[in-house]
Structure formats: C-alpha cells, structure tokens
Structure 1
Amino acid sequence: MSESEAEPAVESTAGSERLSAAGSERLSAAGSEAESAAPAAAPAGAADVLGALVAEAAAKSGLVWVRPRGGSRAWGVWHAWHEGAVLVASGPGEQDLGDLGVDVDLILRSKDTGSRLVTVAASAQLLDPSSQEWTAAAEALAPGRLNSAALPAELPEHWRVTGVRITRFVPTGEAAEQPGSYDDASGAAPPAPSAATTSSWLPWHLRGRRGRRARKAAERRAREQHAANG
C-alpha cells in the first residue's frame, strides 16, 4: 500500500476522535446543568430519626400535652402509644380534652428529666365507637387506666356504654421543637378557669387540729392561772 492511500485513513480516524471528544463535552455539560437544576435532597434519615425520637418519648412517658395548632393552652393527658399514634380517652368519667380541632401539636417530655423534649405536628381523628379501630384503641388504653372501678378487660365495653371518646393523634413528622432547636419561652400558662377550690372551707378533723388544740389549751391554762392569782 502506498503512502497516499494510507493518509486519508489517518485523517478519518482523527476526525472521529475530534467528533467523539466534542460529543462527550456536550453530554458532560448537559449533565452538569441537569444536576444544578435538580432540587437538593433532604438529609437522609432525618425523618426517621425524628420518628424514632417521638416514638420513644411517647412510649416511655405516660403523659403528653396536646395543643391546638396556633393555640396558647395545652392539655396534659395520659395516653397510650399504639401503632404509631397517641391514643387518648376522654369524656364521661375520664379526662377532659375538649374540641381541639384536626391540626394539633403534641408536646412530649423526657422520661429522665421531665422537661420538654420534642414538639411535633399531628392530625387528630375521633374514632367511631362501632369500628374495629375504636375497639383496638380501647384495648390498648385499658391497661394504662389507673384507679378504675372496672377491670381492664371490662373497660372497653364500659367506655362504649358511657360514651367515652377515643381520639387518635398521628404525628405528621413536622417538628416545631426538638433537641438543638427549642423556643426560648418557658411555656408557662395560667391555670384554666375552674370551679374547683379548697379555700372556702377546711376539711373537718377528728378532735380538731393539733395547732388549734394547743392554742386552746394554752388559753385555758392562762385563764386558770389568772383565776388562781386572784
């Protein structure tokens, strides 16, 4: 083969290399633009960590505060943590919860310190007493009901007859407060209006109160001494 026949083949190969390089540059640039246009992904596992924190706090503590979204007052209630939700029994013969609406905040405390640990948004669902969900929730709540006249096995039916309401609060995964990010406010609130009082009368004690008996005895001795001195 002569040199004149070999040269076109070399030029063709070099042209192919130049075209391939140009195409690779265009594809790389397009890929970079697509990556820059894509939204940043949320930190992996952040939602799982918050969910685990809420589950642990709700399961270990028997008390949770429920606050209407945007409200100032929170209700402290005993509860049960069951299948990823906070269950609360309220109504006749049970704790007062009131109408909190659908969107609420759950304030969970630390079992070790008793202080506020996490505040998470939740949705409220009032369960139907005729549903299987209500029965399962009542059975989960019954063992945690203290000082009840009915046995735990009898409580679900007792609650159904007396009209006790069971509300299911499902955390949505949006935290208003969590470790490392707390509101500076104390969270203190004035007591809710109530007819309960202990200042109008004092309980009766058998044979009177110790301080009152001592005072009367001293007064009696003083009178006797005054009479003896004439």
Structure 2
Amino acid sequence: MDGTTATADDFLDRALLEEAVKKSGLLWVLAEGSAERRPVWHAWHQGAVVLVGDGAEQPLHGLTAGSGAEVTVRSKDKWGRLLAFPTRVAALEPGSEAWLGAVEELKGKRLNAPDTDTIADRWARECRVLRLEPLGPPAQRPGTMPQESHAAAPLPSPATTRQPIPAGLPKLILGRLRRRG
C-alpha cells in the first residue's frame, strides 16, 4: 500500500476494498475541492479503479490528473455505505499499454453503447480515461463508520410522494386471490 510493513488488517482491508469495488456497479466519487459526491460507473483494473468520461460518456466533474478523490463504495446486498477510501487520480494516455488494458475492462462494463465496435476509437478522440489509485487503508469501513448521517436533502422537484391507496383496492386484490385459490 504505502511501503510500510503490512499487517493482517492491511491485507483484509485491501481484500475488502477490491471485492467491494469489483462487485459494485456504481461508485460515489468526491473530487478534491468539490462539494458533492458524483455517481460513476467503473471497472477494477490492476489494483485501481478506472473510469471513462467526458465527451458523450459520464461527466467527470473535478477529477484531474495529480489531484485526489475519495471513493465511496456501497454494499451490493444492503446498498448502504460499505467503505470509503482516498485515491490519487492519474490520466491514462490514449494508446498506451495502461490505457488499452483499462479500456478493455471498461468496454465490458459499458451498457448500451451506441458504437460497440468502435468505442475505443471514440474514447481515444473524445474522452478521458482515469485511474484512481487507492492510497492506504480505507478511511471508513465496517467498525469505523462515522455516526452522523450522510443523507442528502432531495433536490427540489414538482414530483409528489405516493398517495394513500384507494379504499377498495385491498378488497379487489383479496377477491382475486380467493377466486384463484
């Protein structure tokens, strides 16, 4: 991780980090100097999170080479925060060996791409491929979670909450179930 003597806890933290990132389809990234976390789709490649964005892909707000970012991973089964860890952002040069490897991993994760056969060419022209390298152990993990809420206030919207169900609906549903059984 950082060159110091590794303990069993370090290995367990790293294994948890890798498995959680690999199994999660979505990560939340807080770029250094930014005020809000952004959801991103990703892949895990050679010990780091890789992202593709900008152009016609997902926005990579505030993520720049050489800066830092905090990545939050949710639990696959409970969908709650599982861990958060600091990273260093590195940009991969289009056509380089690292870029080609990352793109191969990302292509498999990209859903509904309009140009599946030429997606790598488009990414090389229009997008940035970033590598988020973990820096040390997770800042938050099971047993070391902060006590305060991280709930965000909903954005203003004309949408309303669900209304009570109509009074006759339970009777209608139960009647159908009785007729079947």
- The alpha-carbon deviation at position 65 of structure 1 amounts to 0.8
Structure 1 counterpart SS, 2:101: helix
Q: Does 1:137 align with 2:102?
A: yes
Give the TM-score normalised by the residue count of structure 1: 0.61
- Residues 70 and 85 of structure 2 are in contact (CA less than 8 Å); yes or no, is this contact kept in structure 1? yes
- The alpha-carbon deviation at position 185 of structure 1 amounts to 2.5
- Which structure shows the higher helix fraction? 1
Unaligned runs of 5+ in 2: 160-181
Q: Does 1:180 align with 2:180?
A: no
1:64 matched residue in structure 2: 27
Give the TM-score normalised by the residue count of structure 2: 0.76
Structure 2 counterpart SS, 1:167: strand
Q: Which runs of 4+ in 1 moved over 4 A?
A: 190-193
Distance 1:42 1:180, change over 3 A: farther
Return the alpha-carbon distance in structure 2 between the equivalents of residues 156 and 42 of structure 1: 40
RMSD: 2.4
Return the alpha-carbon distance in structure 2 between the equivalents of residues 136 and 43 of structure 1: 28
1:123 matched residue in structure 2: 88
Sequence identity percentage: 34
Return the alpha-carbon distance in structure 1 between the equivalents of residues 57 and 23 of structure 2: 22
Q: How many residues align?
A: 154
1:89 aligned to which of 49, 52, 68: 52
Return the alpha-carbon distance in structure 1 between the equivalents of residues 11 and 56 of structure 2: 37
- The alpha-carbon deviation at position 69 of structure 1 amounts to 4.2
- The alpha-carbon deviation at position 158 of structure 1 amounts to 2.0
- Residues 50 and 173 of structure 1 are in contact (CA less than 8 Å); yes or no, is this contact kept in structure 2? no
User: Which gives a bigger RCO, structure 1 or 2 (Cα 8 Å, sep 6+)?
Assistant: 2
- The alpha-carbon deviation at position 146 of structure 1 amounts to 0.7
List per-residue Cα deviations over 1:62-103 (Å, max 9, x = no partner).
Answer: 111111247541111000011111111111111111223411
Return the alpha-carbon distance in structure 2 between the equivalents of residues 70 and 119 of structure 1: 17
Unaligned runs of 5+ in 1: 1-40, 200-230
